[in-house]
Chains A and B, each alone.
Chain A
Amino acid sequence: MSLYGMMRTGVSGMNAQANRLSTVADNIANSSTNGYKRANTEFSTLVVPSTQGSYNSGGVTTTVRNAISTQGVLQYTTSITDLAINGDGFFIVQNTSGQPYLTRAGSFILDGEGKLVNAAGFQLLGYSYENGVPSATANGYAGLEPITIKQPELVATPSRNGIFAGNLPLDAETVDTTPPPAGAGDATAGDNVSTSKYSAKTSLVAYGNRGEEVLLDVYFTKTADDTWEVTVFDRAEAAPDTSFPYASGPLVEGELTFDPATGKLSGTDGITIPVPGGDSLELDLSGVTQLDAGFEVQDADVDGAPPSSIQGIEISSDGTIYAQYADGSFKPLYRIPLASVASPDQLQVLSGNVFTESATSGAVSIGFANSNGLGGISSGALENSNVDIAEELTSMIESQRNYTANSKVFQTGSDLMELLVNLKR
């Protein structure tokens, strides 16, 4: 029970409110900072020993908490390298000296070296696809490298798989190969002579090893009821206009037999074409039917791609960064991991909207987006700060009042002290 004690309690109250006002000031100042997490001030009592009849006032201590686990509002932008996490998790970034940090500020741009750098200058880290599909190292930063989008060498993919589906006409005229006088002695496409006859023709684009386009002429020749010959030629060797005869024989010759009951293929349902200057192409013909309709193509597709360079990048919601090539194909380059800790709100807050592990936060574990409770990555969006101005203003008013009240306590103590001093004349 002392006047000094009471005055000191008033001072501690004023200090506590000043702390709170400081966090409010911080929050308001950073209310538009992407990835900023609001700071909260929590107070706790400080009690000093008292005896019966003599009470000693204590004080108040301040703990600043950051609402790191509270999601901010996503704001959509037009840049695809603006990233936001919708849910739990942090991007892993490093500063120029290579020290890893966690952040939710995802306004990344490509710098001169092709690295993704955010507004505070931190580089985004990820796992590279260079040595196959990456997997996350659960409990450490090993294997992570700064994501670098460079213009790599041109990439070409040879054709290996294809599909052709369609209908061969049931009433097509049979090419009569029986020699005269018993038959007409006609030549089929497979005989490759200028008088070769065929029932239907289609052509497909395939790609060679170096990405060169190879046009394949595919001929279907009805040789008997329910039996068709299929022959594939290289267009580059075709004679003008009529194509026949080709400079060399067919690349592959096959026979298709149809089930008369259903009009569907009953024997082999594919051919393997050795693409000139390329790989062997498995052409799936299982969708070919022989029904009483005209020649019709229902599907024709061959994989492979011509050589092309990166046109742009795309980031999927699971964090994979794809390079988009000029021909429209995609190739994964990096995968962006997300980090999480057991108690995100207790992470240590550092300048530049970054966080680092503290003794109480728990250790960092790394995983991929949309798995193990981690959120998804939105490309073309930013996470706004989670500060609400109205809330900050109300707490500011409250703090102001509390501060005034505390100052009244101090003033009262001071007045009493003056009274006491004046007792002695």
Chain B
Amino acid sequence: MSLTSALSIAQSALFNTSRQTSIVSRNVSEAANPDYSRRYAVLSGAAPGARISEIRRAVSDVLFRQNLTAQSDWQGQATLSRGLETLKINVNGIDNASSPATMIGNLQTALQTYAATPSNRTLAENAVEAARQVVRSLNDGAAAVQALRSDIDRDIATSVDELNRLLAAFETVNEEIVAGTRARRDVADAFDRRDALLKQISAFVPVSTITRADNDMVLTTTGGVTLFETVPRPVTFTANHTYVAGMAGNAVYVDGVPLPAGNGGNTTASGSLAANLQLRDQIAVQMQQQLDEIARGLITAFAESDPSNALPDAAGLFTWADGPGLPAAGTLENGLAGSIRLNPAMDTSAGGDPERLRDGGANGAGYIHNADGAASYSDLLNGYLDRLQQPMSFEPATGLGASQSLSSFSSEAIGWLESLRHEAARGSEAKEALATHTATALSNETGVNVDEEMALLLELEHAYEASARLMSVIDEMLATLMEATR
């Protein structure tokens, strides 16, 4: 050991301290960035003096993966919850005010009032008006369901584009990390970017990661389908611009494998894509089927019959595109809720006579029950009211009871949506809590703690002072020596 080497050690100590200080200042400046992981310098001895061998990045793989899963689950649940909320408002209205069940209730009341005073033509008009509201509610509901499906379709198309873009960005960053790791460059910033991209990707699809040599990463969905391996795999989807009832949507293909949709109110969907697929292909479709079955129930319940039984039953107050024939009993007729309309023969505004509701005969003279036009005739009206309460058979695919009365079927439809919505909202709360919790845990582990950084800064300041002092002492010693040389 000599004075010169002491000087060189002091110099390298100054250099190390200033490098460490720059790391601390970087940490502090990025303290508010959620995608930033704390950096720290690892010193290694190199005789003489210490050399900063590498800048490491605080990581916690386990917490990060948990956070990714929690984020995916939460995104899926939140998407479903939002979709259900939209369906409820658009189809059933606020407080179910415009739901078919409410409208059918109003129709029943109007019919009862009319049946009590069949001679009052104004009450007949009221009953037909109530029927018009039922038709509108079903038509609007069916349109809203299909509009939601096409909205979701567009949303899926946008998400797929975004996912492809994110995977392409992932490729760039991954290449940078692999090349940097091989060349032993500092790639901490690229790691931050890759983690941020992973978080964004996991909002769309659930992601599993495999790390290969040189920090090369392979992404698969939790179903094992490859998303990224050296190059991004294509995520393909063909959007439909318009949806009609009974039309199936296109699947989202990841690497040629269809992405499975979620299931249930507290959904199994992870990531917004699976939840959107569930909304589009299960919930909205079921809702459409329920509306179609309500429409079929109404047409059947209000069908007219020939008193002499010579003619076949025909559509009465409510008719449809294929009227006056009746839709087949117990069979789902896709799109019926969209095509159901008020029978023009009973609609004053279309030149019809509302009293045909009391007397029959919307489909011709053969169907008139009150042949002599008695003003107090109410048998038909009471018959309609009874039929609304009588059990009939419904398509089991609707998810509601297969054999029940039309009014209970229509109220059960509301209950079905409400219970789904409730489950989804509860699931959303729980999953959000988990996502927040894991994010906090991750941030505690890898985020920047400014207090800690400040404490480290104080230490560094002292170390710097000490090294500088050492240099000045050595300088003085050399000066003494110079003094001696005269």
Contact = CB atoms under 8 A, between A and B. Distances in A.
Interface of A: 31, 73-76, 166, 200-205, 213, 215, 217, 238, 240-243, 294-301, 311-312, 314, 324, 326-330, 384, 387-391, 393-394, 396-397, 400
Given A297-B210, A390-B481, A326 B224 contact: no
A241 B256 contact: yes
A36 to B, nearest CB: 12
B178 interface: yes
A242 B253 contact: yes
A96 to B, nearest CB: 32
A300 B213 contact: no
A330 B231 contact: no
Nearest to A241: B253
Q: Using C-beta atoms within 8 Å of the partner chain, give the interface range for chain B.
A: 35 or more
B467 to A, nearest CB: 16
A300 B256 contact: no
A299 B209 CA distance: 10
A201 B222 CA distance: 13
Given A328-B178, A328-B182, A76 B255 contact: no
Contact of B225 (A201, A205, A299, A314): A201
Contact of A328 (B179, B231, B255, B484): B179
Contact of A297 (B181, B226, B251): B226
A210 B163 CA distance: 31
B183 A324 contact: yes
A329 B182 contact: yes
22 contacts: A75-B8, A76-B46, A166-B224, A201-B255, A213-B231, A217-B256, A238-B256, A242-B253, A296-B220, A297-B210, A297-B220, A297-B224, A300-B210, A301-B213, A311-B183, A314-B183, A328-B182, A328-B183, A330-B182, A384-B8, A389-B4, A393-B478
B59 interface: no
Closest 5 pairs between A and B when the two form their complex, measured CB to CB: A388-B2, A295-B224, A243-B256, A205-B230, A390-B3
A166 B3 CA distance: 61
B234 to A, nearest CB: 9
Given A31-B4, A241-B256, A297-B218, A390 B225 contact: no
Contacts of A393: 478, 481-482, 484-485
Interface in B250-281: 251, 253, 255-258
A299 B229 contact: no
B396 interface: no
Interface centre among A243, A324, A330, A393 (most CB of B within 10 A): A393
Contacts of B181: 328
Interface string B445-486: 000000000000000000000000000000001100110110
Contacts of A390: 2-4, 477-478, 481
B236 interface: yes
Interface string B232-257: 01001010000000000001010111
Contacts of A391: 2
Interface string B173-214: 001001101111000000000000000000000001010111
B5 A388 contact: yes
A389 B2 CA distance: 9
Contact of A76 (B4, B12, B210): B12
A207 B282 CA distance: 42
Contacts of A294: 222-224
Contacts of A389: 3-4, 478, 481
B48 interface: yes
Contact of A324 (B47, B182, B258): B182
Contacts of B213: 301
B179 A326 contact: yes
A64 to B, nearest CB: 20
Given A201-B256, A203-B226, A296-B208, A397 B485 contact: yes
B43 to A, nearest CB: 12
Contacts of A394: 481
B51 interface: yes
Nearest to B250: A241
A398 to B, nearest CB: 11
Contacts of B51: 76
A203 B230 CA distance: 11
Nearest to B1: A388
Given A76-B51, A390-B3, A297 B231 contact: no
B230 A396 contact: no
B224 A200 contact: yes
Contact of A74 (B3, B46, B222): B46
A327 B176 CA distance: 9
B253 A297 contact: no
Interface in B1-45: 2-5, 8, 12
A213 B232 CA distance: 12
Contacts of A31: 4
A10 B478 CA distance: 32
A326 B226 CA distance: 25
B257 A73 contact: no
Contacts of A314: 183-184
Contacts of B8: 73, 75, 384
Given A201-B225, A204-B229, A328-B214, A297 B208 contact: yes
B2 A300 contact: no
Nearest to B220: A297
Contacts of B225: 201-202
B161 to A, nearest CB: 16
A387 B4 contact: yes
Nearest to A385: B4
Nearest to B51: A76
Contacts of A243: 256
